[in-house]
Amino acid sequence: MVTLKDVAKAAGVSCSTVSAVLGNRAEKLGIKPETRKLVQRTAARMRYRRNAIAAQMKSGQANTLAMILPEGGTPEFVMRAATAATVEAEKHGCFMKIIAANGKEDFITRLDSVLSQCPAALLHWGKAGERGDYLMSAARECGVPVVFLDFSETIGSGSVRTDDRAGIAQAVEHLYALGHRRIAHVTTFKGERFGDERAEAFLAEMAKRSLPVKTEWIYRDECFRSGGPLVPFLERLFSEPDRPTAVSCGNDLIALRVMTALERQGIRMPEEVSVIGYSDLSFGVACEPELTTIHQPFDRMGETAVKLALDGGEREVLIPTELVVRGSTASPC
Amino acid sequence: MVTLKDVAKAAGVSCSTVSAVLGNRAEKLGIKPETRKLVQRTAARMRYRRNAIAAQMKSGQANTLAMILPEGGTPEFVMRAATAATVEAEKHGCFMKIIAANGKEDFITRLDSVLSQCPAALLHWGKAGERGDYLMSAARECGVPVVFLDFSETIGSGSVRTDDRAGIAQAVEHLYALGHRRIAHVTTFKGERFGDERAEAFLAEMAKRSLPVKTEWIYRDECFRSGGPLVPFLERLFSEPDRPTAVSCGNDLIALRVMTALERQGIRMPEEVSVIGYSDLSFGVACEPELTTIHQPFDRMGETAVKLALDGGEREVLIPTELVVRGSTASPC
């Protein structure tokens, strides 16, 4: 077994230097980069096993965090948050476990297993749904804080979401500043919480600017089924003489659907109609024109959730969104 | 300090039962699910800190893996592989560190820090480029195996890629089986390794079926710049009397560009022209028609890379792709 002393001897430095370097205190103590590197490399080559985990174990701070992914596939934005959360956890000396469970039974087994390791906190993406009661009662029983991402549970948990009211306000303000006055909003069916929140915010922002909103300009229905009602809706909408000059969409995937439908109607973007998305998924730059959208900082959501979790906080944090102007919006002709 | 004995007493079971349950041997030893749960919950409630890490430390098997993400943003498929790799690592009792470095200096600092913790292996997404020499020599010096994902380094490392030759063969075979004989291929500029490999595979598959390929049917240039040469290329291509009836694309983002351009030319898909993508990114189902594509199993790439890494293997693994038939391909009219 290689000891710290062996490493110090081999590297030709003191034990306290080795300890400082391997404890990530080199910079704080003013140890030169060359020395840091020499010690790290020597320790690695000698396979010295005082690793970060061992040190934390000893000081009783071995922390595990666990992030529970939603069921039924992991969308791009969830993975973005999970990756950022993993990196952030490491900065605090914690390891992130990722729980991707299939079905409630599997979820319970995995959750129980993680809870038996005394995690510092649990992160959960989205509404817990059926799993929610079990999750919250098990976590409470074990005294483990829970932080929800992209969802706000009322009792005994923290939450990190993007400020979607302000995000929609950014979208409407951008279109308004370009000169648009007749704006449609297309989003998912009534009862879907993002659709509800974003549509409400849209109406509030339009009202604030005394802009007219006809009921026929608000689409709340199935957005993704091919042959669904979206295409006929847009055909009707854009055959009116007093048609909208811009469409605000509930998310980028909806914007893609809308752009394709407008294209098929021979409507030029952004000359005749501007389209703005929401989320800033990566395919937006492959749209023609490139999609103007509202950026939801999923990276920051993941980082913030970790910080909040380690605070044990039952707070609600709203992350500001950002307008990303590309080619799909312009002043109306 | 709570001991294993305390947990056993509180749960009313033997010490060996507690040890078996917390060591994940409950199922193997035929311990009932109720007992497993009781023990796990009791341990958690009492904040008993025999956790998985401690046990592995003791047995000298505390393993860390690290995955190095590519520079300049993390695409959807990389995160998919990273998430799957993290879950897979846990199954082997390992923790995955995610390294997202900015610039070479930052990369070196982070790599040195990870290497000083004696990781079981390093995973690296894609070509290491500038970092490559440093990575390989540092890893070699520390005796840590390196596994590349989506890239094959010749010496002293493993690699996990999708079998893109076979993937392109699936695409061409799908179009051929539908009755297409005149097929174009659109991909990135010459010298780009994916473009080169996929274009070569395309030509080989066409030749194998004695199908004609005109040079004007192969696009090798900038695909993403708005106002770039792709749109004029497609306009020329589809104004020919003997035009192709199908387009095979180097990836899904290119397919999106191609679909939009064809739409603008008033060409109906799939009736007049079929389009097939490559990768199976999540926006494909929001295209109209939904995009037929070749699925690259990024999840499996991540899992396989972890297994290969823990094997210490310098092998090259090719993961088979899968044809996903949606609405953008059909028999030619």
Cross-chain CB nearest to A115 (options B44, B281, B327): B44
Q: Quick one: pLDDT at residue A290? A: 95
Same domain, B107 and B135: yes
**Distances in whole angstroms, Cα of residue A224 to Cα of each of A252, A291, B194, B284:** 12, 18, 31, 11
For residue B206, what is the enclosing H or E element?
helix B193-208
Is residue B171 in a domain? yes
Could you tell me if A157 and A170 lie in one domain? no
Residue B109 located in a structural domain: yes
Q: Does B90 touch chain A (CB under 8 A)?
A: yes
What confidence score (pLDDT) does residue A59 get? 43
Mark whether A157 and A70 lie in a shared domain.
yes
> What is the pLDDT, as a whole number, of residue B154?
62
Say whether B261 and A288 touch across the interface (CB within 8 A): yes
If asked whether residues B182 and B275 sit together in one domain, one would say yes
B117 belongs to a structural domain: yes
The letter for the amino acid at A157 is S
Give the position of tokens 């610039």: B103
Q: Are residues B189 and B264 in the same domain?
A: yes
Residue in chain B lying closest to A266 (CA): B264
What is the CATH number for B11? Answer: 1.10.260
Domain residues for the domain of B26 are 4-50
Q: What is the CATH number of the domain that holds A250?
A: 3.40.50.2300
pLDDT tens figures, A279-297 = 999 999 999 999 999 999 9
Contacts within 8 Å (CB) and 24+ apart, B45-50: B45/A141, B45/A142, B45/A143, B46/B2, B46/B6, B46/B7, B46/B10, B47/A118, B47/A143, B47/B2, B48/A118, B48/B2, B48/B3, B48/B4, B48/B6, B48/B7, B49/A60, B49/A62, B49/A118, B49/B1, B49/B2, B50/B4, B50/B22
Same domain, A305 and A157: yes
Looking at the partner chain, which of B83, B117, B286 has a beta carbon nearest the beta carbon of A256? B286
The answer to whether residue B330 scores a pLDDT higher than 80 is: yes
- The reply to whether B332 falls in a domain is no
Judgement on whether residues B174 and B285 belong to the same structural domain of the protein: yes
**What does the CA dihedral A315, A316, A317, A323 come to, rounded to 10 degrees?**
180
B111 in any annotated domain: yes
Q: Which residues of B touch A264 (CB under 8 A)?
A: 263, 288
> Would you say residue A55 lies in a domain?
no
Q: Which of A106-110, B21-25, B271-275 has the lowest mean pLDDT?
A: B21-25
- What per-residue confidence (pLDDT) applies to B296? 97
CB neighbours (10 Å) of residue B4? 15
> pLDDT digit of tens for each residue in chain A (333 aa)?
678 888 899 999 988 888 888 777 777 788 888 888 888 888 777 767 554 445 544 444 457 899 999 887 788 899 999 999 998 998 887 888 888 888 888 888 888 878 877 788 999 998 888 788 889 888 888 788 999 999 886 677 899 999 999 999 999 999 999 999 999 999 999 988 899 999 999 999 999 999 988 888 999 999 888 888 999 999 999 998 999 999 999 999 999 999 999 998 999 999 999 999 999 999 999 999 999 999 999 999 999 999 999 887 788 999 999 999 999 999 998
| pLDDT per residue as tens digits for the range B212-234 | 888 889 999 998 888 889 999 99
Per the structure, the count of domains in chain A is 3
Do B232 and B198 lie in a common domain? yes
Q: pLDDT at residue B117 above 80?
A: no
The reply to whether B261 and B136 lie within a common domain is: no
CA A112/CA A26 separation, integer angstroms: 39
pLDDT of residue B252: 97
| Residue B82, domain member (yes or no) | yes
Query: Does the distance separating the beta carbons of B87 and A82 come in below 8 Å?
Result: no
Residue B57 lies in a domain: no
Q: Which residues 171-200 of A are in CB contact (within 8 Å) with B?
A: none
User: Chain A residue with minimal CA distance to B228?
Assistant: A288
